[in-house]
Amino acid sequence: MQLNPLYYTDQHIAFADSVRKFTQKELMPHINEWEEAETFPRELYQKAAEVGLLGLGFDEKYGGISGTDAFYVLLSSIELAKTASGGLCASLLSHSIGAPPINHFASDEIKQEVLTKILSGEKISALAITEPGGGSDVAALQTKAIRDGNDYIVTGEKTFITSGIRADYYTVAVRTDPDAKGANGISMLLIDAHSEGITKTKLDKMGWWASDTAHIHFDQVRVPVENLLGTENMGFFVIMNNFNMERFFLAASSYGFALVCYEEALEWAQQRKTFGKRLVDHQVVRHKMVDMATRLTMTRALLEDTAYRLGKPELQGNDLIAQICMLKNVATQTMQFCADSAVQTLGGMGFMRGTKSERIYREVKVNMIGGGAEEIMKDLASRQLGY
């Protein structure tokens, strides 16, 4: 697809090319094996760091890449989606949601000690917010952190945590004021994932097989007070600050996976023959392909407009938050439609493990739920729009 020069610079294009080469060399030859093994090598993080994938949006002082905007995230998401493995992408880039609170709210000493190692791929970061009884209702979290001298003592549970088993650091939402209700009294802590009192349990999933996903139990875990991210009892702001780019990343990835489904279905339709002619020569199939292309074009336009606005402070505000919510829903619905249409077009082959569309079909729902379920997005958008 030709890139619009109004949005993309030579630097954007060069970066996309480097991610494309990385994907072809380091990921594509092994992805089916990693999916079946439900893991991938730890050294892949360092290889990703070498091509700049881990540094996007982070302070250059700690190993990040300066001057990168949302278009870098969009382009890299599209290239990585060619693996058709949402689990690989989610775990390899789990720092993109686990590390921003460190980047924005930790002390310089912690950034130097922790963030540099995460951005180099030496250490792995995970975000731990969701709880068994809360889901998308962040304000209902129950994990407690009680002050005891120079430490917090953390007790509670987190679930559906991407990179939860192999992570070295958790960025954890806790309730530091047990008497506060809702969004009040919540704080964010950086917790060493190897601390005494932490139990990790691997979770089996419908999709995202290559992703390490865990249930985590904190039993009287001691965390130094200096590991507080931001101001005590003001952690809800830290969490909300993190959501915009997480949702944009999910939307960009969803678009990339939808595009993979479209391309696989089109290639099959151009080669497969039924009733004496190619599938694509049947009007009903051509219309299906056009429906997929229409949704992809619509989603790409909204993605690029949102990426542009994310880079313009004067265009940010409640309207942009609402647009990101709508974007996530539009992109994941496009992914759902294209995955379903691709499997239908491939017929029996679409039901076979090994086709990209089959894998993506199993992973649609996690994109629609993760980062805020579709219903949550609609409600949040309505509030931002004032009704």
Helix (H), strand (E) at residue 86: helix 86-92
Q: Where in the chain is the domain with CATH 1.10.540.10?
A: 10-119
SS3 117: helix
pLDDT of residue 1: 63
pLDDT of residue 120: 97
pLDDT of residue 134: 73
Comparing CA positions, the residue from 376, 248, 263 lying closest to residue 303 is 248
pLDDT tens digits along 223-241: 999 999 999 999 988 888 7
pLDDT tens digits along 260-281: 999 999 999 999 988 989 999 9
* Lookup: tokens for 214: 């865990």
Q: Alpha carbon of 349 to those of 29, 106, 206, 355: distances in Å?
A: 21, 50, 19, 7
Dist CA 199 CA 197 (whole Å): 7
Dist CA 157 CA 164 (whole Å): 12
pLDDT of residue 237: 86
pLDDT tens digits along 27-54: 999 999 999 999 999 999 999 999 999 9
Query: Is the per-residue pLDDT at 66 higher than 90?
Result: no
pLDDT tens digits along 114-164: 999 999 999 999 999 999 987 667 778 899 999 999 999 999 999 999 999
* Lookup: tokens for 206: 């419908």
pLDDT of residue 240: 83
Helix (H), strand (E) at residue 287: helix 283-310
Q: What is the mean pLDDT of residues 243-269?
A: 96
Instruction: Write out the catalytic residue numbers.
Output: 246
Q: What is the mean pLDDT of residues 62-80?
A: 94
Q: Where in the chain is the domain with CATH 2.40.110.10?
A: 125-233
C-alpha distance across the termini of the chain, in Å: 38
125-233 classified as CATH 1.20.1070.10: no
How would residue 67 be classed by pLDDT, with cut points 50, 70 and 90? confident
Q: What is the mean pLDDT of residues 343-369?
A: 95
pLDDT of residue 305: 97
Sequence-ordered list of residues with C-beta below 8 angstroms from that of 311, at least 6 positions apart, any chain: 69, 70, 71
The DSSP call for residue 195 is: -
Q: Where in the chain is the domain with CATH 1.20.140.10?
A: 237-384
CATH code given to domain 10-119: 1.10.540.10
Are the C-beta atoms of 290 and 276 separated by less than 8 Å? no
CATH code given to domain 237-384: 1.20.140.10
pLDDT of residue 3: 83
pTM for this prediction? 0.94
SS3 356: helix
pLDDT of residue 88: 97
Q: Whole-number mean pLDDT of the chain?
A: 94
pLDDT of residue 321: 94
